[in-house]
C-alpha cells in the first residue's frame, strides 16, 4: 500500500501519533484475523472477522489520509456532489479547469494496465515524439466519492508490450467492502485456505479483461464487495506481485525519488513472514 508514497514534509506530532495509532490498530486487527484463520474456535470474546476486516481497512484508509493530507472521503464526496451540480453544461466552459500542481505522482512500468481499481477513460492524446498515444483515466468514483486519483497510460516505445503508467494523486474513495465486508466460509472444501473468499484490488486478481487493446480500463474490480469474481485466500497468498510491476518511481511535484521498488511478495513470505514489529516502525522523515 503506497510504498512509493512520499509523505508531506511537515507532519505534525499529533498526526504522527495518530498515524502510528492507526497502523498499530491495523496490525492488531490483522493479528487477530490471523488467529481467526488458524483457529476459529478461539474467537470467543474477540471481534468478528467482518469487524476485523472493516477495522483494518479503516486504519489503512485513515493512515493514507494522514500521510497525503487529503480530506476525508465523506467530505470529498459531499463537495464533489455539490461541484457536480454546479458544473455548467455550456460549451463555453469546455476545457476550463485548474491544473493540479505538486500532486503526488508515481510512475510504474508494467506489462499490464490492470491495477484493481476502476478507471474511466476521459481523454487520449498523441504525445510529441511518442509512437503511441497517451490515455487519461480518472477514478470512476470521482463524482460519487470525490476521489481525485487519475492515471495516464502510455505504451512504451521500446517495442515491448509494456506500459508506462503514471498515477496522479491517491485514491480517497472507499472500497465498497468497507461498508459491507463479506466473509464467505466454504464449508464444503477441505482446503485450509479456503476459509475466506473475497475480491482484492490488484493486477493478479482481475478475472475479466477487455478485448480491445486500447480499452485499458479495469471494468470489473471496482470494489471489494463486488462478488462477481471471487478468489480464495489461497489465491491471495499465492499471488506473485513481482511479475507485474518492474519499476516504480515516486515523484512529488517536480522532484522524483527513483525508488525502483522490486515488489516480490511470495506466498511463503506472506504466510511465514507477515510480521509487524511496532518497535521497528519508524517514520522516515
C-alpha cell at 136: 487519461
Q: Which stretch binds DNA (CB under 7 A): 34-42, 72-80, 122-130, 259-267?
A: 122-130
Q: Applying CB under 7 A, what is the total number of residues that bind DNA?
A: 40
Cell of 17: 501519533
Least distance between DNA and beta carbon 95 (Å): 2
The residue (of 62 and 142) whose beta carbon lies closer to DNA is 142
127 contributes a contact to DNA by CB under 7 A: yes
260 touches DNA (CB under 7 A): no
Instruction: Among 124, 156, 182, 225, indicate the residue that binds DNA (CB under 7 A).
Output: 124
* Choices 69-77, 132-140, 156-164, 199-207; region in contact with DNA by CB under 7 A: 132-140
Helix (H, G, I), strand (E, B) or coil at 179: helix
Q: In whole angstroms, what is the distance from residue 117 CA to residue 139 CA? A: 8
In degrees to the nearest 10, what's the CA dihedral of 94, 99, 105, 108? 30
Query: Which stretch, 55-63, 135-143, 228-236, 257-265, contacts DNA (CB under 7 A)?
Result: 135-143
Beta carbon of residue 264, minimum distance to DNA (angstroms, whole number): 30
Nearer to DNA, 207 or 264 (CB): 207
Q: Please report how close the Cβ of residue 127 comes to DNA at its closest, in angstroms.
A: 4
Element (H, E) at 60: helix 49-68
Residue 131 is classified by DSSP as S
Q: Residues 45-84 vs DNA: string with x where CB under 7 A? A: ----------------------------------------
Spatial separation of the C-alpha atoms in residues 242 and 248, rounded to whole Å = 12
Nearer to DNA, 101 or 282 (CB): 101
How far is Cα 196 from Cα 226, in angstroms, rounded to an integer?
15
Residue 147 within binding range of DNA, rule CB under 7 A: no
Q: Is 97 in the site for DNA (CB under 7 A)?
A: yes
Residue 140 binding DNA, by CB under 7 A: yes
Q: Are 136 and 272 in contact (CB under 8 A)?
A: no
Lookup: cell for 141: 468514483
CA distance 38 to 271: 11
The DSSP secondary-structure symbol of 48 reads: P
Helix, strand, coil shares of the chain, percent, nearest 5, are: 35, 15, 50
- Where does this chain bind DNA (CB under 7 A)? 87-101, 118-125, 127-129, 134-136, 138, 140, 150, 152, 168, 210, 212, 214-215, 217, 219
Amino acid at each position: 500500500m503506497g510504498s512509493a508514497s512520499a509523505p508531506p514534509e511537515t507532519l505534525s506530532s499529533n498526526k504522527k501519533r495518530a498515524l502510528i495509532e492507526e497502523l498499530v490498530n491495523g496490525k492488531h486487527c490483522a493479528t487477530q484475523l490471523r488467529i481467526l484463520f488458524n483457529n476459529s474456535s478461539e474467537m470467543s470474546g474477540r471481534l468478528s472477522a467482518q469487524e476485523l476486516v472493516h477495522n483494518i481497512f479503516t486504519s489503512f484508509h485513515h493512515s493514507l489520509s494522514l500521510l497525503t493530507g487529503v480530506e476525508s472521503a465523506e467530505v470529498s464526496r459531499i463537495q464533489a456532489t455539490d461541484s457536480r451540480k454546479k458544473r455548467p453544461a455550456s460549451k463555453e466552459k469546455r476545457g476550463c479547469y485548474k491544473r493540479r500542481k505538486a500532486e503526488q505522482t508515481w510512475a510504474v512500468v508494467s506489462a499490464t494496465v490492470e491495477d484493481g481499481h476502476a478507471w474511466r477513460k476521459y481523454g487520449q492524446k498523441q504525445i510529441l515524439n511518442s509512437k503511441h498515444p497517451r490515455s487519461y483515466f480518472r477514478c470512476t468514483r470521482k463524482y460519487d466519492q470525490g476521489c481525485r486519483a487519475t492515471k495516464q497510460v502510455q505504451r512504451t516505445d521500446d517495442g515491448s508490450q509494456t506500459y508506462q503508467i503514471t498515477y496522479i494523486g491517491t485514491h480517497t474513495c472507499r472500497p465498497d467492502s468497507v461498508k459491507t465486508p463479506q466473509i464467505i466460509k466454504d464449508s464444503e472444501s477441505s482446503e485450509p485456505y479456503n476459509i475466506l473468499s473475497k475480491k482484492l484490488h490488484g493486477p493478479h486478481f482481475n478475472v475479466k479483461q477487455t478485448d480491445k487493446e486500447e480499452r485499458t480500463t479495469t471494468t470489473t474490480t471496482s470494489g471489494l464487495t463486488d462478488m462477481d469474481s471471487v478468489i480464495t485466500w489461497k489465491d491471495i497468498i499465492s499471488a506473485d506481485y513481482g511479475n507485474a510491476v518492474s519499476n516504480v518511481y515516486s515523484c512529488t511535484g517536480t522532484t522524483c525519488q527513483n525508488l525502483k521498488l522490486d515488489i516480490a511478495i511470495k506466498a511463503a513470505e506472506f504466510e511465514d513472514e507477515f510480521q509487524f514489529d511496532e518497535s521497528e516502525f519508524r517514520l522516515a522523515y
